[in-house]
A and B are shown apart, each in its own frame.
Chain A
């Protein structure tokens, strides 16, 4: 039985009066890649925000290394080793590529990732290091967003729809780097609408539908029928 790095237990999340998550439970073992799939509005991004400490939730609904971290604050969650690649990339537009990466590293956690390693992973960023981040293509911006999260040397990396709005060839290119990232011993939670990509990358898959986990299991054992039933609720 491998150590449970992250455990989510009976997580409820609300936006004002609207409840987005209902008793969601999941777990991620050390070094594991887990995918969370589901339709638009199923609560996938909300789940990641809760893990990252950006939402007010019960403390013991999210356990990291067995320590309750639910409800953040987000900057302390980063210091514990949880980094988020936010949906829509959310780069700092007035900062250059390199400055964006450096902001990610400002927390000062020790580990394998630094500017040099990020540039090795994404060589095309090095040539553009001094460009303003909005001048990059969508795929390059996504690489900056991933690099920025890695710069904090997380033990758990949360990736929110890194394929969003990108061309298939770029998506393949970015996903091709995931094994190299996972090889450093960190765990990943990947939120994806692209089910094929998710099943290819992850060992475990959770499917959310309207804020509830409708299916989970090993990626290999899930059939297409089971997934579409859980995905669409038909």
Chain B
């Protein structure tokens, strides 16, 4: 029963990792940009939520109404003003620029908010749980978190395959110069993709801030979890990303159950095993 509980908690945690990964793989899929600052942008979103909550005195979960559009706007402007200039045949310039961005965000947050760790308080919902029998209980907050992850993945899937903007994302990803010749403004399409990515980052940032303590330096570790979930799941597949996140979450939970020190190690080992045995990931996109 203890093990069942461990796996269940791991699955719920995996939803969060899948959301770390979704924004990352969206950006890589549409514009071949590896966003090294992704983890730091998550932390930035957490601090935007902190400021919003302190200023308005609202529940952190309600602050999403403000944090999501703010981060989306930051994403659009960031893409149009900076990142579009780095895109080209070479993967290296965007890598270097987002690495620099990562350093700037971390140090900027450190200046503004100090290195003290903080946490958002969502109230009673944090400790509420639903008994599912057999002595097992599921926390309401992890459940909300997992439901949001499934909703985000399903929403992305729908957007990519059922809407005009999703079609534009896929067309631009296939052949940017041809897309431009068909009347798509690539700079704008890329701006929208980054806005969408940072909207997801905003959700993740708020959930992270409610879940545990955070400080300006925790971004890079979130980036690693995101990368690992993408690679375990297979690039280009949204549901694969969810599965990748869940596998990572379960591996970490099992590791922690065996020995509290093996938490992260177990996740990294699961990732390395997948990378060694199935480098294309477990559910890679099927080429039509």
Which A residues are within 8 Å of any B CB, using their own CB? 52, 54, 73-75, 78-79, 84, 86, 90, 92-95, 99-100, 102-104, 106-107, 132, 134-135, 148-149, 152
Contact = CB atoms under 8 A, between A and B. Distances in A.
At the interface, is chain B mostly helix, strand, loop or mixed?
A: helix
Interface residues of B, number: 20
Given A102-B164, A106-B167, A106-B168, A93 B181 contact: no
Interface stretch (B171-179, B238-246, B267-275): B171-179
Contacts of A132: 288
Interface of B: 164, 167-168, 170-171, 173-175, 177-186, 287-288
Contacts of B180: 54, 73-75
A104 B167 contact: no
29 contacts: A54-B180, A74-B183, A75-B180, A75-B183, A75-B185, A84-B181, A86-B178, A90-B175, A90-B178, A90-B181, A92-B170, A92-B175, A92-B178, A93-B174, A94-B287, A94-B288, A95-B167, A95-B171, A95-B174, A99-B167, A99-B171, A102-B164, A103-B179, A106-B168, A106-B182, A106-B184, A107-B182, A107-B183, A132-B288
Nearest to B161: A99
Contact of B183 (A54, A99, A100, A104): A104
Nearest to B288: A132
Given A103-B167, A103-B171, A103-B182, 4 more contacts: A75-B184, A78-B181, A90-B181, A132-B288
Cβ-closest 3 pairs across A and B: A78-B183, A107-B183, A132-B288
A148 B288 contact: no
Contacts of B288: 93-94, 132, 134-135
Contact of A152 (B170, B173, B183, B185): B183
Contacts of B183: 74-75, 78-79, 104, 106-107, 152
Contacts of B287: 94
Contacts, number: 70
B109 to A, nearest CB: 37
Given A78-B183, A107-B183, A94 B178 contact: no
Nearest to A135: B288
A103 B168 contact: yes
A78 B173 contact: no
Contacts of A106: 164, 167-168, 182-184
Contacts of B175: 90, 92
A84 B180 CA distance: 11
Contacts of A103: 167-168, 171, 179, 182, 184
A94 B184 contact: no
Contact of A95 (B170, B177, B185): B170
Contacts of A95: 167, 170-171, 174
Contacts of B170: 92, 94-95, 99
Contacts of B164: 102, 106
Contacts of B171: 92, 95, 99-100, 103
Nearest to A84: B181
Nearest to A98: B167
A94 B173 contact: yes
A37 B175 CA distance: 27
Nearest to A149: B182
B251 to A, nearest CB: 31
A153 B167 CA distance: 19
Contacts of B177: 54
Nearest to A104: B182
From A75, A78, A86, name the one whose CB has the most chain B CB atoms within 10 angstroms.
A75
A15 to B, nearest CB: 14
Nearest to B188: A75
A152 B178 CA distance: 14
A84 B179 CA distance: 11
A178 B167 CA distance: 28
Contacts of A104: 182-183
A104 B179 CA distance: 9
A94 B179 CA distance: 13
A141 to B, nearest CB: 13
Contacts of A54: 177, 180-181
Contacts of B185: 73, 75
